[in-house]
Amino acid sequence: MNQDMSILSLVLHASWVVQAVMLLLLGVSVASWTAIMRKLFSLARVKKLNDKFERDFWSGTNLNDLFNSAIQNAKESGPMERIFASGMREFQKLRERRITDVGSLMDGARRAMRASFQREMDEVESQLSFLASVGSVSPYVGLFGTVWGIMHAFTGLAGLQQVTLSTVAPGIAEALVATAIGLFAAIPAVVAYNRFARQIDRVSIQLETFIEEFSNILQRNVGAPPAAGR
């Protein structure tokens, strides 16, 4: 009567539908952890690059020098530096066309920075929707496997004249493993999603604040020579 109730044994003796659900959830869990680690390093890099450029920007360096540096290091620059380069590039193009209207100059620069801001935020928010989907769907997929497993277990008991706990327990335990794996996939995804969402909100606020501050600096430099600083 001694039955092996280890997790591995329960998985191996589960019905093929429940095994398929478990395999799917394990694959989703691996993909989720991969996305979490990538996003963890990605956001840390974004914060590091943004903070570095912000220090350089407020150090009093000439705007043209910062712009030239941003162009040369485009592949290694952060979101804030690319937004700065977009605004500065548009601003200089409009001045080269001898546009002197302050409103036109500032509108062009702001539109360029806003477009760059949207591209940067799309990149920063990548894989966030995947984590949200894993966190919301995985428990239900696991529950489906559990319901199917319990149905299969009770169907197998239909022909027995005497049903005891020892005959019912293995089938139910096999089914419940699917729910456990679903929660194992969902919980880290939900925790990571909430943490990353807060970090991304801070990045967004930092970039929007920079756009407004840089716009004010450009507006003060409208009447200055092209090579002027601040």
**pLDDT number for residue 198:** 96
Residue scoring higher pLDDT (107 or 168): 107
User: Are 70 and 84 a contacting pair, CB within 8 Å?
Assistant: yes
Residue 136: the pLDDT is 93
- H-helix or E-strand containing 42? helix 16-57
State pLDDT tens for residues 20-38.
888 999 999 999 999 999 9
Q: What is the pLDDT of residue 172?
A: 74
pTM over 0.85: no
* pLDDT bucket at 40, cuts 50 / 70 / 90: very high
Greater confidence (70 vs 149) lies with 70
Structural tokens at position 7 = 């997790």
215 neighbors 108 (Cβ within 8 angstroms): no
Predicted confidence at residue 211, as pLDDT, reads 95
- Helical ranges in 58-164 per DSSP H: 63-72, 79-96, 102-124, 128-156
Give the Cβ contact number of residue 224 at 10 Å: 10
Whether pLDDT at 171 is above 80: no
Tens-place pLDDT, residues 54-106? 999 998 888 889 999 988 887 889 999 999 999 999 998 988 888 777 888 88
SS3 state of residue 147: helix
* Three-class secondary structure of residue 80 per DSSP: helix
**All structural domains of the chain with their residue ranges:** 7-220
Predicted local distance difference test score (pLDDT) of residue 227: 44
Closest among 125, 112, 104, 121 to 211, alpha carbons compared: 112
